[in-house]
Amino acid sequence: MKKSLGIKTTGSLTPVWIIGSYDAQYKANIMAVAWGGFCCSKPPMVTISLRKATYTYDCIMSRKAYTVNIPSVDQLVAADYVGIYSGRNHNKFEDCSLTEVKSDLVDAPIVKEFPVVIECRLERTVELGYHTMFVGEIADVKVDDTALDADGKPDIAKIQPIVYSAGCSVYHAVGDFLGKAYDIGKKVT
């Protein structure tokens, strides 16, 4: 028996993504976004959603670029911190003892200590309501060499990313390997 919870953003997970950007004076900032994901394979694109009130909104509008930095479970305290406080009043790189590295491809900073970064050029914005979508064209994906598997692909067990539960405001680790896509489903027939 299903229970109606109403018109809200609840019931699903979202990956924890930390957005890096520069303001007009090249101060680097990082912010946690609740809403984000890949949105196109060719050209490879991601989308993140931001409120106009955020510092990062102004930064991306001014630089037309951002990075998606993916923290590990042992970096959760910093990842949550950068979603609580605004870059207008805080230098969040310093507060969290994180190192900013300028991307050589897009006009945005990378978090050196996080295992994955997706570098993006702003492709367009889409006005939705409280949030604006920032569609970014991927310029590169960089992963710590210690977080790659034997085939050179990102290894989830080594990255140890965090998922966020929308509506419950809790974080979880990623658990057991369950199966291969486009493969385990063939058991149906």
**Closer residue to a second copy (CB): 26 or 112:** 112
Whole-number minimum distance, CB 77 to a second copy, in Å? 5
Whole-number minimum distance, CB 82 to a second copy, in Å? 7
Whole-number minimum distance, CB 75 to a second copy, in Å? 11
Element (H, E) at 119: strand 116-127
Element (H, E) at 81: helix 76-84
Whole-number minimum distance, CB 73 to a second copy, in Å? 6
**Closer residue to a second copy (CB): 25 or 176:** 176
Whether the upstream peptide bond of residue 43 has omega within 30° of 0, thus cis, is yes
Cα–Cα distance between 103 and 182 in angstroms, integer? 35
**Closer residue to a second copy (CB): 25 or 32:** 32
Whole-number minimum distance, CB 43 to a second copy, in Å? 5
DSSP state of 83: H
Q: How would you write 40-74 as a 3-class SS string?
A: ECCCCEEEEEEECCCHHHHHHHHHCEEEEEECEHH
**Closer residue to a second copy (CB): 24 or 95:** 95
**Closer residue to a second copy (CB): 24 or 167:** 167
The residue written with tokens 């630089």 in the block is 63
The residue written with tokens 């230098």 in the block is 91
